[in-house]
Structure 1
Amino acid sequence: MSSPPKFTLESTGEEVAATFVDEIKGKNVLVTGTSVNGIGCNSASIIAKYANLVVVTGYNEERLKLTEEFIKKETPTANVRRLVLDISSLSAVRKAAAEVNAYPEPIHVLISNAAAAIGPFKLTVDNLESQMATSHIGPFLFTKLIANKLLAAGTPTYVPRIVYVSSEAHFHGTGVNFETLGKPDKEKYHPLETYCQIKSAGVSMAMEVSKRSGGKINGYSCTPGVVLTNMNQKPESLEWMQMIGVMGPDGKPDYEKFKWKSLSQGAATVIAAAFDPSLNDAPGTYLTEDSVADNTKRAAHSADPAQREKLWSMTEELVGEKFIF
């Protein structure tokens, strides 16, 4: 692995993208979960300044139009394509994946950012727990179904990438609860524990997809840091954010206990994971909030090979699809 550029907590997505502009040029990038005032939208907007194509996703056209308007306000010449994707629904995932597979272009980078808000127990149309379905099971199926689009972007000098947006929260707990993964139990559900589980799953999948693809696709995971987004301001999330002290009693960020980052600073690590060429020889790497590759900050339970393999095989069973490269 070559020497990586030096970034800090204050580095912005614009700075990181400018550093890797040669890697971004000509690339087609798909970002899931791109609502305005979110890390996905901000990452897509910055990448769109240089990329050949940026595909943005959302669960309805109205939200997608707002995202496209946001991006084109910054870069009027940006090539933006909207994709309706309700990633919590397996049938909706299949429909969106079919649309992507009909694109004439390959996909060089998939940024798996979509997530459900931390909140009360809720089942999806597939009778899966909402957070787990939106942040792990749906994305797993989507990735599987469009894998050929990623593989088509590979060349002798370029390996396609998948970036899993995780969190330092993945360190808490013991990883995914396999007992409730496909059999949600309201009595055993805890919003914050489930959040930690899905962030652990992202770290595991980055390593496992790298291993199983045999070098055809490189997976990376990252934590963007503590960022004020549309997600953690939702009413159903606020009480839990206050419980762990991230948000104060007044519902505003606690700047004394936590180092808050702007949306652009949060996007910095995502963009580094997607384009930093120093990571080429280190698939499965975890990037910290200052955009530094540091696998010592990766939880042992998330990296455990047996846990990763079990999570992969159980998720295949849940979606009814074998993920074979």
Structure 2
Amino acid sequence: MQFSSTTTAQEVATAFQDDIKGKNVLITGTSLGGIGFDTALAIARYANLLIITGHNADRLKAAEDALKQQLPTANIRPLVLDLSSLTAVRKAAAEVNAYPEPLHVLIHNAAAPISENFKLTTDNLETQIATDHVAPFLLTKLLIAKLLSSSSSTKNPTSAPRVIFVSSSSHVILGSINLNAFMPNPKPENYSSLEAYTQAKAANVLTAAELSRRAKGQINAYSLHPGNIHTNITQHPESKALFEKLGVITPSGDPAPSLPWKTFAQGAATTVVAAFDPSLDDKAGTYLVDCVPADDQVGEACTKDPETASKLWSLTEEIIGEQFEFSH
């Protein structure tokens, strides 16, 4: 099947249903009104187990109910996960590690609102840096043994477990990665909402590439740009001013007519490709756009430099206070 910008997540899942069957998948950020829900809906139809997460228990329950209403026989398991707290990430990871099932695919889909207001998390990290980069890094580290153990439980043992980072295309406007932006206790006067967002999303691309390099075939990681989608992020009260300034939405809050927009189902499609397309087995670390590899669209200055990726990796290990180990 030929995939494109108009391909839907369900079309991808149908094409790869044999690759999804028997798999246990965890996806963060599955609230209604975002592409995570459509990603979950497509995967849940065929997966053995789908773990959905959210920081708000009521919204998580609403997503669970909506999934089960459409797919009554799907095996859905909700998990409360607050990515703005490293303590909460450790608590949720411990819960997942206690599950009897292995984990085949980990999808980092959740993201913080892009706020013009400077905020620190309980760990004294800038909120977007914490939620979009540091917490996913820690969650991956804590679940790595469970991912590695899944390779012997799948029908296709040659296919390595996968970790997916939903990034964006914003890194192309970035001159370089600013490692100081990732440090605890940043100064409010240095804060820019756009800078924090682009740094965090560029870090997703770097982390996918570095994780794949360090795992040496044991784990395959991928990053992607889902496209322009009018989600709950672009409509969030704290984010609207920035998106209007960028020309993404109009003053009335509607999607800017000059941009190519995708539906939620189309926006979720590339994530499903990254998670299950067997043709990507030998392309670990790849960045995808519109359901196909697009490493040529990665900004050379900030996201294709192995030295920068390695430095960011080491810095993030220092921040979480833990070393990443690939043993199980």
Question: Could you say which TM-score interval applies, normalised by the shorter chain?
Answer: over 0.9
User: Which residue is 2:119 aligned to?
Assistant: 122
Among 119, 134, 141, the alignment partner of 1:137 is 134
Q: Which runs of 5+ in 2 are unaligned?
A: none
CA contact (8 A) 1:176 1:198 kept: no
User: Which residue is 1:84 aligned to?
Assistant: 80
Which amino acid is the alignment partner of residue 18 of structure 1?
Answer: T
TM-score for both structures, normalised by structure 2: 0.95
Among 34, 40, 56, the alignment partner of 1:60 is 56
Q: Which runs of 5+ in 1 are unaligned?
A: none
Alpha-carbon offset, residue 72 of structure 1: 1.1
Structure 2 counterparts to residues 24-173 of structure 1, below 5 A: 24-119=20-115, 120-155=117-152, 156-173=157-174
Structure 2 counterparts to residues 1-325 of structure 1, below 5 A: 5-119=1-115, 120-155=117-152, 156-183=157-184, 184-255=186-257, 257-288=258-289, 290-300=290-300, 301-325=302-326
CA contact (8 A) 1:163 1:221 kept: yes
Alpha-carbon offset, residue 174 of structure 1: 2.8
Alpha-carbon offset, residue 175 of structure 1: 4.1
CA contact (8 A) 1:175 1:200 kept: no
In 2, distance between residues paired with 1:43 and 1:15? 11
CA contact (8 A) 1:170 1:197 kept: yes
The one-character-per-residue Cα deviations of 1:81-128 (angstroms, maximum 9, x if unpaired) are: 011110110100110000000010111000011110000110101111
Alpha-carbon offset, residue 180 of structure 1: 2.7
In 1, distance between residues paired with 2:205 and 2:240? 25
In 1, distance between residues paired with 2:121 and 2:92? 17
CA contact (8 A) 1:12 1:265 kept: yes
In 2, distance between residues paired with 1:175 and 1:235? 29
In 2, distance between residues paired with 1:275 and 1:319? 29
In 1, distance between residues paired with 2:189 and 2:306? 29
RMSD: 1.0
The one-character-per-residue Cα deviations of 1:161-218 (angstroms, maximum 9, x if unpaired) are: 0010011112111343212311312111100111111110010011011011111000
TM-score for both structures, normalised by structure 1: 0.96
In 2, distance between residues paired with 1:181 and 1:102? 31
CA contact (8 A) 1:13 1:269 kept: yes
In 2, distance between residues paired with 1:323 and 1:173? 27
Give aligned-pair identity as a percent. 53
In 1, distance between residues paired with 2:215 and 2:176? 23
CA contact (8 A) 1:31 1:44 kept: yes
What is the number of equivalent residue pairs in this alignment? 319
CA contact (8 A) 1:121 1:186 kept: yes
SS in 2 for 1:35: coil
Q: Could you list the runs of 4 or more consecutive aligned residues of structure 1 that deviate by over 6 angstroms after TM superposition? A: none
Which amino acid is the alignment partner of residue 165 of structure 1?
Answer: V
